[in-house]
Structure 1
Amino acid sequence: MATIRPKISDQQRRAMLVRRHLLTPATHATAVEQVAEALVALHATEPATVFLSVAARMTGATPQMVERALYEDRSLVRMLCMRRTVFVVPRDLAPVVEASTARTVAARERRALAGLLADQLGHDTAWLASVENEVTAALAGLGEADATRIADAVPRLKERITLSPGKPYESRVRISNKVLTVLAAEGRIHRGRPRGTWASATFRWTLTEPHPQLPAEQARVELATRYLAAFGPVTLDDITWWTGWNLTATRTALAGTGAVEVDLGHAVGYVLPGDPVLGPSQGTRTERAVSLLPTLDPTAMGWRDRDWYLDAAHAAELFDRNGNICPTVWCNGRIIGGWRQRADGQIVTELLTADTDRGLRTAIAVEAERLTAFLGGLRISPHVRTPLMGRLSQDRVSPTSLQG
């Protein structure tokens, strides 16, 4: 007799998302590290995202708290890992991420750089190794330095290569950033405190303290377990996409978690044994859960299949051509619009739903005020360009507008 899979509705998934991802005042974290642990990893392609993802989910958050976790306590580690994306992960998870995903990414980055150096400059792998040794030796002496200062100490980093030759966006760049990226991907150096504000993308670099080396298969099971705990129910396609693994590695890791199959209506999903979503109903929610989440927030980018929390008709308004999502407005586990900070510092929003009321307007205004207080006068501008972001940049848009 065939096993009957437990059926999990979209409403159940959204309710679980709100609780697990700390999207109500009742579930807000009291420490920066708690936010990172709840989400497994914080997107860090845009530096401000790390700070704003924390601010949306933590009581009394300040930029200084996040900076302390990143650059003083180093309880959070910035890594190039899943899908060749920069993430910030809890320090105890760094060896798992390194072995399960970053190691493969680093190997690809090294091959690509070696090919560029050989084809364009005639340099072999021994030449690259000697330059890398000079970089680590320079950082041992400098302690912390940006790419320009490192290149002054290692002049060979100033040699130039052509990226995307023949394309409209062809560029001629120093090899310094490519070399530093490879070293960072391999865990030999890491990004330290940025120059300028906490939202700056110009980082200083420091040497990395070595961490335990784990077997790749064991690490993939651990990462899949963490992902299921934070994002489940998920489909096989979700796991493959989020991790960047091939299908064989994904199936093996999923089997290692002991995951239970569930019926999501349109697809087979997976949860960990004993997942709360399999238990009794959590009751009817009375508190409205409203959040303003930043560009590439881990919740918005947590699944490949997004129809259960985003109306497919609105995707083109929120995502750019590369699949990156702009800042979003959430209510009860659904994306209902987007937001942006204007040049004058005001937070403006546009909703993509006609289902609005005064209570929702008030809740959004409260979150906008909380975000404004966190920013403390700093101006941020997302790099993701979407139609909705274009409209919100116009002066005619008023703070927390509800345009449908």
Structure 2
Amino acid sequence: MTAPARRMRAQRLSAPASGVEDLLDSVFALQAQDVPAARLAARARGVRSLDGPVVRTWAMRGTLHLLHERDLWVVGLLGPVFIAAGKRRRAQLGLTDELCARALPALREVLAEPLGRDALVGRLAEVGVVLDPRSQAPAHLLAFAAHSGVLRRGLDDTYGLLRVECEPRGVDELWRRHRRAYGPATPDDFAAWSGLPKRAVRDLPEVVDEPAGPRGAVRVLGHFDPYLLGYRDRSAALDPAHARLVQTGGGFLTPHVVVDGRVVATWRRVGARFEVHPFGARPDIAEEVADLGRFLDVDAALTWV
């Protein structure tokens, strides 16, 4: 039983989910700063729609994720970590503690309905929270509000109020959920995935990973797919000789193809054509590309480069 095969099963890439709730129960969250990429990640796990009791907000690593509403406890756990980490940058942007404190009730006042960012910045100015829309101040204030449990961001990129109605949970529970979604994994992987400091991930309880063997599973994954993002050391899935073709910097991953958990190719879409660059022998991905074409509603054509 190889680690990649077990990770494919944990990520529901070789055992498709029945819907978005089932998927998030297994994988905990989908990376969601890019909504089309999140939809591709769900498709690769058997899910065609993101409709359901899900919330898009800032969570692990301080980045946007799609979570089940019952798992919003993670905002209360991780939010203070990222609020503290962003304090210096907020100060540089003129976002004082006093202004940030005033902004939270102001947001609750003006967000009677979802608003786009420009409209939201305008409404805040009307109630005395003035931000330079040309600067990074709005983005950092809205992130502060999200980490404070006040703000969420819809799949349509509008902002709305966040309501957290679940009991608080601790690091041990997040570790358990990470291992369920990414196991086998190490505390270093957990720290890299969550954004927690190393001191917070010591003395974690033992978690047993579910066994799984290779199934011949082939999946075409997008550029923010969680499969590789869950680990600090990705060498079990990605040969270091090919890493630079996939890990291009800034947390960005080139869309890639995995077979039984090993990255074997990169790909890109050019109109209705899917260009695939294999690292060795060509993987049998015709069925996956056809399904991706149906999902994107294009008459997919596979080409090799």
TM-score by length of 2: 0.89
Larger RCO (CA under 8 A, 6+ residues apart): 2
Q: Does 1:13 align with 2:10?
A: no
**In structure 2, what is the Cα distance between the partners aligned to 1:235 and 1:131?**
39
Q: Does 1:337 align with 2:269?
A: no
Preserved contact between residue 82 and residue 242 of structure 1 (Cα < 8 Å): yes
TM-superposed CA distance for 1:153, in Å, is: 2.1
**In structure 2, what is the Cα distance between the partners aligned to 1:157 and 1:99?**
24
Give matches, 1:293-372, under 5 Å.
293-342=221-270, 344-353=271-280, 355-356=281-282, 360-361=283-284, 364-372=285-293
Judged with a 3 Å threshold, the aligned counterparts in structure 2 of structure 1 residues 174 and 240 are, in CA distance, closer, same or farther, namely closer
2:302 equivalent in structure 1 = 400
Preserved contact between residue 292 and residue 328 of structure 1 (Cα < 8 Å): yes
Q: 2:120 aligns with which of 150, 156, 165?
A: 150
- Partner of 1:306, secondary structure, is coil
- Partner of 1:308, secondary structure, is coil
Q: 2:184 aligns with which of 233, 238, 245?
A: 233
TM-superposed CA distance for 1:402, in Å, is: 4.0
Aligned residues: 303
What stretches of structure 1 move > 6 A for 4+ residues in a row? none
Q: Does 1:84 align with 2:62?
A: yes
Q: RMSD of aligned C-alpha atoms?
A: 2.5
Give matches, 1:196-211, under 5 Å.
203-211=157-165
Q: Does 1:276 align with 2:276?
A: no
Preserved contact between residue 56 and residue 293 of structure 1 (Cα < 8 Å): yes
TM-superposed CA distance for 1:305, in Å, is: 1.1
Q: 2:36 aligns with which of 37, 48, 58?
A: 48
Preserved contact between residue 158 and residue 175 of structure 1 (Cα < 8 Å): no
Judged with a 3 Å threshold, the aligned counterparts in structure 2 of structure 1 residues 29 and 131 are, in CA distance, closer, same or farther, namely closer
CA deviation vs aligned residue, 1:204-252 (integer Å, no higher than 9, x gap):
11112233452xxx51000001111222222232122122222221113
- For structure 2, the residue ranges without an aligned partner over 5 or more in a row are none
**In structure 2, what is the Cα distance between the partners aligned to 1:132 and 1:94?**
18
Preserved contact between residue 54 and residue 68 of structure 2 (Cα < 8 Å): yes
Q: Percent identity?
A: 25
Q: Which has the larger radius of gyration?
A: 1
Judged with a 3 Å threshold, the aligned counterparts in structure 2 of structure 1 residues 157 and 327 are, in CA distance, closer, same or farther, namely farther
- Partner of 2:26, secondary structure, is helix
**In structure 1, what is the Cα distance between the partners aligned to 2:122 and 2:70?**
34
- Partner of 1:173, secondary structure, is coil
Judged with a 3 Å threshold, the aligned counterparts in structure 2 of structure 1 residues 144 and 128 are, in CA distance, closer, same or farther, namely same
Q: 1:173 aligns with which of 118, 135, 158?
A: 135
**In structure 1, what is the Cα distance between the partners aligned to 2:83 and 2:35?**
21
TM-superposed CA distance for 1:367, in Å, is: 0.9
Give matches, 1:125-164, under 5 Å.
125-140=97-112, 143-155=113-125, 159-160=131-132
TM-score by length of 1: 0.69
- Partner of 2:227, secondary structure, is coil
